[in-house]
Amino acid sequence: MVFMEEEMENAITEHTQVQEESPTSDQALSFEKRLEPRKAILTFCIGGSLGAVVELVYRFITNGEIDYRANLVLSPFLVIYGVGATMLYFGTLINAHKNILRMFVFGAFACSCVEFASSLIQEHVFGSTSWDYSYMRFHINGRVSLQHAISWGVLAILWYSLLMPLSDKLIGKIPNRAYKRLTTGLAIYVLVDIVVTVLALARWSMRLEGVPPVSFVGITLDAVFSNEYMGIVFAGFK
Mean pLDDT across 30-55: 81
Q: Is residue 8 part of a domain?
A: no
Across 14-18, 52-56, 149-153, 215-219, least confident range: 14-18
Residue 87 pLDDT > 50: yes
pLDDT confidence tier of residue 190, bands split at 50, 70 and 90? very high
Q: Is residue 66 part of a domain?
A: yes
Q: Is residue 14 part of a domain?
A: no
Mean pLDDT across 196-221: 92
Domain, as residue range, for 43: 33-233
What integer pLDDT is reported at residue 2 of this predicted model? 43
Kindly state the percentage of the chain with pLDDT values over 70: 85
Q: Is residue 143 part of a domain?
A: yes
Q: Is residue 178 part of a domain?
A: yes
Mean pLDDT across 209-220: 92
> What is the spatial distance between Cα 28 and Cα 3, in angstroms, rounded to a whole number?
38
Query: Quick one: three-class SS letters along 33-59?
Result: CCCCHHHHHHHHHHHHHHHHHHHHHHH
For the chain, the average pLDDT equals: 83
Considering only residues 53 and 103, tell me which one the structure prediction assigns the higher pLDDT: 103
Q: Is residue 19 part of a domain?
A: no
Residue 238 pLDDT > 90: no
Q: Is residue 101 part of a domain?
A: yes
Total domain count for the chain?
1
pLDDT confidence tier of residue 223, bands split at 50, 70 and 90? very high
Per-residue pLDDT tens over the stretch 12-27: 444 444 343 333 333 3
Q: Is residue 9 part of a domain?
A: no
Q: Which residues pair with 144 in a beta bridge?
A: 140
Compute the chain's Rg from CA coordinates: 25
What integer pLDDT is reported at residue 236 of this predicted model? 64
**Stated pTM of the model:** 0.75
Helix (H) or strand (E) holding 139: strand 139-140
What integer pLDDT is reported at residue 30 of this predicted model? 37
What integer pLDDT is reported at residue 149 of this predicted model? 95
